[in-house]
């Protein structure tokens, strides 16, 4: 009390039906860590603050993982995160989301995935609501995505600030998505593709790389996997990637730098100057 330090205690469980997976989290309030991971069920909360509504504000939290069923219990549904910079978000999100995260002005990176056990008809609309409120959002990463109204995954999505797209683990409508010639053209003509400066992607073959470079006017950095080099018919993966680097250097002007990734056997870096 001398320092006005208060604590809060949460009793969590991984499964309400099994008592073996219970644990307790004790922390000072206001919450002073920069990350908050919401993966478990909160059964009970106690605090040394008599009226701790203001301490449920979490201004220090800049990184948040929000699952499709997150913050649904009566305790944590009262948390508020208004300074989020990095958000991992499962779509569709529940009705509590905009109460818990009501401001996106600081948001810089957004990682999106879908919960296939939920109704996915509204996820495009939900994502666009966030994009419209995030003027500083730079990086947008997808793993799973779905839509029934279009064969083009990004048609209609708009953001004034996104310059980085990460699609290397992209799964669209329950199919692993390796961008072919047509899909590379569609991406380059989309709103997100036109203004994209940094792209991380998997393509069907090496010529698709040239398609992206020739059709994305603002692209300055490309990190790519080429599916046709995953299983080389002759020789090792390393020699196949050496051949791809050499081929790209022959096709591209000297203002483009091409290198292999030292930590990823299939990764190629390209810088456009």
Q: Note the pLDDT tens digit of each residue in 83-117.
A: 999 999 999 998 889 999 999 999 999 999 998 88
Specify the pLDDT at position 182: 94
Return the half-sphere exposure (C-beta side, CA atoms, 13 A cut-off) of residue 122.
9
What pLDDT shows up at residue 39?
Answer: 58
Count of the separate structural domains present in the chain: 1
Cα-trace Rg, the chain: 22
Residue 143 is assigned to a structural domain of this protein: yes
Q: What is the CATH number of the domain that holds 226?
A: 3.80.10
The confidence score (pLDDT) of residue 13 equals 75
What's residue 1's pLDDT?
Answer: 54
Residue 19 forms part of a structural domain: no
Does residue 29 fall inside a structural domain?
no
* pLDDT of 158 strictly over 90: yes
pLDDT of residue 58: 80
Domain that holds residue 73: 56-272
- pLDDT higher than 60, residue 142: yes
Do the domain assignments include residue 234? Answer: yes
> Which pLDDT does position 73 carry in this prediction?
72
Judge whether residue 41 has pLDDT over 90. no
Residue at 39 is within a domain: no
**What is the Cα–Cα distance from 101 to 66, expressed in whole angstroms?**
10
Does 51 fall in a domain? no
Mean pLDDT of the chain: 87
Tokens of 44: 């009970």
Determine contact, residues 134/159, Cβ cutoff 8 Å.
yes
Of residues 121 and 3, more confidence is placed in 121
Is residue 94, in this structure, part of any structural domain at all? yes
pLDDT of residue 18: 59
* CA gap 132, 150 in Å, rounded: 21
Structure confidence at residue 211 (pLDDT):
98
Of 51-65, 122-136, 147-161, 203-217, the range with the lowest mean pLDDT is 51-65
Instruction: Tell me the mean pLDDT in the region 220-232.
Output: 88
pLDDT more than 90, % of the chain:
51
- Between the alpha carbon of residue 267 and those of residues 91, 142, 228, 246, the distances in Å are 29, 18, 13, 14
In the predicted structure, residue 234 carries a pLDDT above the cut 60: yes
Q: How far apart are CA 224 and CA 37, in angstroms?
A: 30
Least reliable range by pLDDT among 30-44, 77-91, 123-137: 30-44
User: How many CB atoms within 10 Å of residue 272?
Assistant: 16
Query: Which pLDDT does position 147 carry in this prediction?
Result: 81
Residue 193 placed within a domain: yes
User: For position 50, what pLDDT does the model report?
Assistant: 67
């Amino acid at each position: 009390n001398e320092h006005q330090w208060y604590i809060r205690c949460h009793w969590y469980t991984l499964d309400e039906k099994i008592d073996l997976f219970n644990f307790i989290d004790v922390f000072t309030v206001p919450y002073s860590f920069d990350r908050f991971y919401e993966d478990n069920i909160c059964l009970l909360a106690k605090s040394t603050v008599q009226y701790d509504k203001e301490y449920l504000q979490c201004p220090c939290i800049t990184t948040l993982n929000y699952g499709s069923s997150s913050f649904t219990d009566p305790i944590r549904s009262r948390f508020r995160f208004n300074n989020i910079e990095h958000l991992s978000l499962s779509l569709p999100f529940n009705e509590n989301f905009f109460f818990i995260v009501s401001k996106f002005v600081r948001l810089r990176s957004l990682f999106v995935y879908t919960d296939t056990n939920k109704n996915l008809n509204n996820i495009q609309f939900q994502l666009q609501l966030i994009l419209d409120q995030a003027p500083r959002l730079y990086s947008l990463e997808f793993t799973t995505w779905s839509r029934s109204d279009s064969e083009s995954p990004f048609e209609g999505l708009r953001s004034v600030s996104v310059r980085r797209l990460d699609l290397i683990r992209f799964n669209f409508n329950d199919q692993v998505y390796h961008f072919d010639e047509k899909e590379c053209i569609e991406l380059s003509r989309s709103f997100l593709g036109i203004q994209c400066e940094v792209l991380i992607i998997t393509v069907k073959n090496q010529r698709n790389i040239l398609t992206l470079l020739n059709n994305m006017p603002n692209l300055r950095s490309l990190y790519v996997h080429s599916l046709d080099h995953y299983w080389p018919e002759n020789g090792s993966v390393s020699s196949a990637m050496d051949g791809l680097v050499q081929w790209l250097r022959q096709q591209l002007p000297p203002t483009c730098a091409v290198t292999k990734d030292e930590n990823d056997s299939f990764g190629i870096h390209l810088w456009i100057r």
